[in-house]
Amino acid sequence: MAQVTTAERKSIFSLFNLIALIVLGVGVYITYLRFTGGLAAVTNLSDYNPWGIWISFDLLCGVALAAGGYVTSSAVYLFGMKKYHSAVRPAILTGFLGYALVVLALQYDVGRPWRLPYPLFVQQGTTSVLFEVGLCVATYLTVLFVEFSPAAMEWLGLKRARNLVVKLTILLTIFGVVLSTMHQSSLGALFLIVPSKLHPLWYSSYIPIYFFVTSIIAGLSMVIFESTLSHRFFAFKMDETHLKEANGVTLGFGKAASYVLAGYFAIKVLGISSGNQWHYLKTGYGTWYLVELLGFVALPSLLYAIGVRVKSPTLIKWTSVLAVMGVILNRFNVCLIAFNWQLPASERYFPHWMEIGISVFIVMIGLVLYRFIVTRMPILYEHPDYKDAH
Amino acid sequence: MSISRRKFLGWVGAAGLSTTIGKPAAAATNKQFTGYPKSFAILHDITLCVGCRSCEAACNKVNELPKPDKPFTDLSVLETKRRTTTKTFTVVNKYDNPKYPKSPVFYKKQCNHCLEPACASACFVRAFTKTKTGAVTYDSSVCVGCRYCIIACPFEIPTYEYDQVLTPRIRKCTMCYPRVTEGLLPGCVEACPMEALSFGKREDMIKIAQERFRKYPNRYVNYIYGEHEMGGTSWLYISGTPFKELGMREDLGNTPAPQLTAGALSSVPMIVGLWPVLLAGIYAVSKRKEKIAQTEQEQAVASALVTDRSEPSQPEEES
């Protein structure tokens, strides 16, 4: 991977700063409109389409793409794959930021955000899948915060507290996997209630399992993708261990992702068979379904396998982009494109530019926070005072 | 060795997960909720409706809804297909009559007040209640505004006040719950001049419908829409035109909405109970593997050292 010189780095960062400033400015303006004019002022949502991209992208994709935290920490701490240790902290950090931003996005989407704690503390609707999602996301955000906190404490020099939290690692990791299994699958289970609205090719009683398995794919692929970006822009922050292990992480995660994608392909085909939905493949939606299944599941599985076989980190890195896009495409299909498929085109939804503006704004906040943290806290390197802990 | 064991554990976990997620709860129970006994229902005889919009006007009045753009006496609005909105809880739509092209069919649409409502099952703050009168009511004092109820409703009824900044509510027909508890008829039923709407106990309404089928067999499609749809609703419809031609979904099935998600929800305790055991097991296996590897390494080093010492001819001793 090409290293960026100091001068280049400065110009890239100043360009990034400029873009960030514009995006954040526009975001603040839309935020003002949203909280003074209501959802109608900034969205194309309607009574037929109550969920737009703030749910399909910010919530569904956000949670799936933040799965790297539980995937990496369980691989390293529970499965004993110590050679990937340097990937844990960046993955936990992105997981934490990802979930925090999901919660931020929900403040825009729900009508009365200050009531978001209501399902937990005022009146519990336990028959709702959304209740499970809310409960797990709230708890898991807390778990991720605690898992991330040692890095911050090392930075702040809070040695005692840091050592205490590190002792909880295994417990927290198990917590993380349990909670992630539940809410990743529940996000899919949200759609179990709409067999009449979601196209039969995407509606399946297995949809919770599909969502869970794709979260693993997203988690693995995002770790590869992020590490590519980090190497491009933050290589100067990485210690020798991180740089040395990076190729191993790419190859190992690529291999795992290839297997999981293959398994996912198999259960998708099984789902079509068990529902006997083959005849839909001949329709327009069927073609679109095949694009998703072949182009964004089978193809990345194959490319990952080739990349591992010929030991090409470059191929694996590009494949990770394809796989991440595949997960995003899947969430868009389930929540928007194949949802309400029976409605006439005039009643269908297309996002307002300001909805996209808020989504970009929130991703930008994530990037800025990520940069703030990795340039200060021991994320991409081990803190010299705590080397023994690893 | 340990990899295959780990794989095995993984497969066991996956198998456990797949058996618990996604199965309809009906498979695990023989209980069925057929509505509160003696709850009310409204029978809409579509063959009697003349599209006068009196019900719409009455609904507007009793629910104190804002005045519409065009007065209720203006029948030109029937030319376009309308849906429920935040300002109209019920709409009458006009459809072509293939049998008698000169006399179109009118069908009144509003919340069907399911026996097991999708909205109530989907709500994570229990803002919806299926009351014993049959009405599904909504409490805005707990509503977060997530709009999952709108997603969940198979009849596309609930509407949301997108233009409200601080107090957006879900709006829909209440089956005139306040009036019914006072012993009054629902506004629309009272206003209907054609007796196209009948109000009474649900079982009586079904009997009336069947009676009409028997008396006028040529007049009706022999089917009560709402008797079984999505587990049954408190609004029942009989018609001379196939329901599909009136824009009513005939493919909804008879499974009550809560059963669609009950299987997935029932897997939660299993995940909470089994996952930690499984994961702790995997952790123990990998720890043990590490320990064995370490011991083996130590032994190998020790034996290598012993052989080294027994061969004094080699001068360079590794430390």
- How many CB pairs below 8 Å do chains A and B form together? 193
Rounded Cα distance between B255 and B168, Å, is 31
More confident residue, A11 or B95: B95
Instruction: Tell me the per-residue pLDDT of A277-298, one tens digit each, with 9 for 90 and over.
Output: 999 999 999 999 999 999 999 9
Nearest-Cα distance to chain B for A2, in Å, is 36
Contact A129/B286, CB-based, under 8 Å? no
More confident residue, A51 or B10: A51
Contact A47/B271, CB-based, under 8 Å? no
Instruction: Kindly list the residues from chain B whose CB atom is less than 8 angstroms away from the CB atom of residue A40.
Output: 162-163
Q: Got the DSSP string for A279-326? A: GGGGSHHHHHHHIIIIIIIIHHHHHHHHHHHTT-HHHHHHHHHHHHHH
- From the list A120, A190, A115, the residue with the least C-alpha distance to B168 is A115
State chain A's mean pLDDT as an integer: 93
B168 pLDDT more than 80 = yes
State the pLDDT at residue B312: 57
Residue B12 contacts A where some CB pair is shorter than 8 Å: no
Interface test with B, best of A44, A123, A127 (most B CBs within 10 A): A127
Mean local confidence (pLDDT), B142-170: 96
What band does A235 get if pLDDT is binned at 50, 70 and 90?
confident
Give the range among A208-212, A248-252, A348-352, B96-100 with minimum mean pLDDT.
B96-100
Contact A39/B168, CB-based, under 8 Å? yes
What band does A241 get if pLDDT is binned at 50, 70 and 90?
confident
Instruction: Kindly list the residues from chain A whose CB atom is less than 8 angstroms away from the CB atom of residue B289.
Output: 80
Instruction: Tell me the per-residue pLDDT of B180-207, one tens digit each, with 9 for 90 and over.
Output: 999 999 999 999 999 999 999 999 999 9
- Counting every residue written for chain B, the total comes to 319
Choose the closest CB to A189 out of B6, B127, B264.
B264
Instruction: Kindly list the residues from chain B whose CB atom is less than 8 angstroms away from the CB atom of residue A205.
Output: 22-24, 263
State the pLDDT at residue B310: 64
State chain B's mean pLDDT as an integer: 88
Which residues are CB-neighbours of A352 under 8 A, at least 6 positions away? A42, A43, A44
Rounded Cα distance between A292 and A218, Å, is 15
Instruction: Tell me the per-residue pLDDT of A60-114, one tens digit each, with 9 for 90 and over.
Output: 999 999 999 999 999 999 998 999 999 999 999 999 999 999 999 999 999 999 9
The domains of chain B are located at 2-23+263-310, 34-255
- From the list B114, B106, B138, the residue with the least C-alpha distance to B125 is B138
State the pLDDT at residue A383: 86
Instruction: Tell me the per-residue pLDDT of B64-96, one tens digit each, with 9 for 90 and over.
Output: 999 999 999 999 999 999 999 999 999 999 999
State the pLDDT at residue A365: 97
Helix (H) or strand (E) holding B40: strand B40-45
Instruction: Kindly list the residues from chain B whose CB atom is less than 8 angstroms away from the CB atom of residue A192.
Output: 22, 260-261, 263-264
Rounded Cα distance between A178 and A378, Å, is 27
State the pLDDT at residue B29: 54
Which residues are CB-neighbours of A105 under 8 A, at least 6 positions away? A54, A58, A59, A62, A358, A359, A362
More confident residue, B15 or A348: A348
Residue A79 contacts B where some CB pair is shorter than 8 Å: yes
B108: β partners: B92
State the pLDDT at residue A5: 65
Mean local confidence (pLDDT), A208-212: 97
Instruction: Tell me the per-residue pLDDT of A303-333, one tens digit each, with 9 for 90 and over.
Output: 999 999 999 999 999 999 999 999 999 999 9
Mean local confidence (pLDDT), A21-49: 96
Mean local confidence (pLDDT), A362-368: 96
Rounded Cα distance between A296 and A323, Å, is 6
User: Running DSSP on this structure, what letter comes out for residue B226?
Assistant: T
The domains of chain A are located at 14-381
State the pLDDT at residue B31: 65
B7 pLDDT more than 80 = no
How many degrees, rounded to 5, is the angle at CA A38 between CA A37 and CA A40?
A: 95
- From the list B76, B72, B131, B106, the residue with the least C-alpha distance to B197 is B106
Mean local confidence (pLDDT), B97-124: 93
What band does B24 get if pLDDT is binned at 50, 70 and 90?
very low
Mean local confidence (pLDDT), A209-229: 96
State the pLDDT at residue B20: 44
Strand extents, DSSP E, A230-289: none
Contact A112/B264, CB-based, under 8 Å? no
Mean local confidence (pLDDT), A161-171: 92
Instruction: Kindly list the residues from chain B whose CB atom is less than 8 angstroms away from the CB atom of residue A50.
Output: 147, 150-151, 160
Instruction: Kindly list the residues from chain A whose CB atom is less than 8 angstroms away from the CB atom of residue B23.
Output: 205
State the pLDDT at residue B33: 74
State the pLDDT at residue B311: 61
Nearest-Cα distance to chain A for B222, in Å, is 24
Residue B147 contacts A where some CB pair is shorter than 8 Å: yes
Instruction: Tell me the per-residue pLDDT of B105-115, one tens digit each, with 9 for 90 and over.
Output: 999 999 999 99
Range from A4-13, A350-359, B284-293 that averages highest in pLDDT: A350-359
State the pLDDT at residue A385: 82
Percent of chain B residues past pLDDT 90, beyond the cut: 78
B27 pLDDT more than 70 = no
Residue A354 contacts B where some CB pair is shorter than 8 Å: no
Q: Which 3 state secondary structure label does DSSP give B198? A: strand
A125 pLDDT more than 80 = yes
B163 pLDDT more than 90 = yes
State the pLDDT at residue A304: 97
Range from A123-127, A218-222, B36-40 that averages highest in pLDDT: A218-222
B13 pLDDT more than 90 = no
- Would you say domain A14-381 falls under CATH 1.10.600.10? no
B10 pLDDT more than 70 = no
The answer to whether B69 and B144 have CB atoms below 8 angstroms apart is: no
Choose the closest CB to B265 out of A46, A115, A132.
A132
Percent of chain A residues past pLDDT 70, beyond the cut: 97
State the pLDDT at residue B307: 76
Residue A212 contacts B where some CB pair is shorter than 8 Å: yes
Contact A78/B158, CB-based, under 8 Å? no
Task: Name the B residues in 171-230 with CB < 8 Å from any A CB.
Answer: none
The answer to whether B136 and B155 have CB atoms below 8 angstroms apart is: no
Instruction: Kindly list the residues from chain A whose CB atom is less than 8 angstroms away from the CB atom of residue B249.
Output: 196
Give the range among A19-33, A240-254, B39-53 with minimum mean pLDDT.
A240-254
Rounded Cα distance between B109 and B86, Å, is 14
State the pLDDT at residue B315: 52
Report the CATH architecture of B34-255. 2-Layer Sandwich (3.30)
B21 pLDDT more than 90 = no
User: Running DSSP on this structure, what letter comes out for residue B49?
Assistant: -
State the pLDDT at residue B5: 53
Instruction: For B65, list phi and psi in degrees, rounded to 5.
Output: -90, 160
